[in-house]
Amino acid sequence: MFSNNTRVEIQFGDCDPAGIVYYPNYFRFFDNATAAMLSAAFAMHKRNWLDHFGIAGIPMVDTGARFIRPSSFGDVIEIRSEITDLGRSSFGVKHSLFKDGELAIEAREKRVWVVRAEDGAIRSAPLPDQVRDLLSQTK
């Protein structure tokens, strides 16, 4: 399935008073890595693929992580994101975060493809065949 690598330089504001990345910030990094992966798969920026596919977004409905080693201000980390499964209207993502070439975090996400209903609410929608084809490719 499709995968992509994203590099992140840890900023001072990403860290807690102990000088390590405050754990919720990793989920922000993973959210950005998911968007970067889909942008690479679709060959367009997120704002364009949202319009192109006519969706409201890809909200996360399940997530989790296993923290192995911390990162600190100034570290450059690499996040390898890959599609793990494709459902009717959802898809799974695995993130492997590396620091100095060693696995530091393993994380997972379940995302849902959603559209906006006439009343403004969001609802799941089937993954389009084009999306399914692009995310099934091995990069």
State the catalytic residues: 16
Distance between CA atoms of residues 122 and 59, nearest Å:
10
First-to-final CA distance of the chain:
8
**79 phi and psi, to 5 degrees?**
-110, 120
Joined tokens for residue 13: 């504001």
91 close to 47: Cβ distance less than 8 angstroms? no
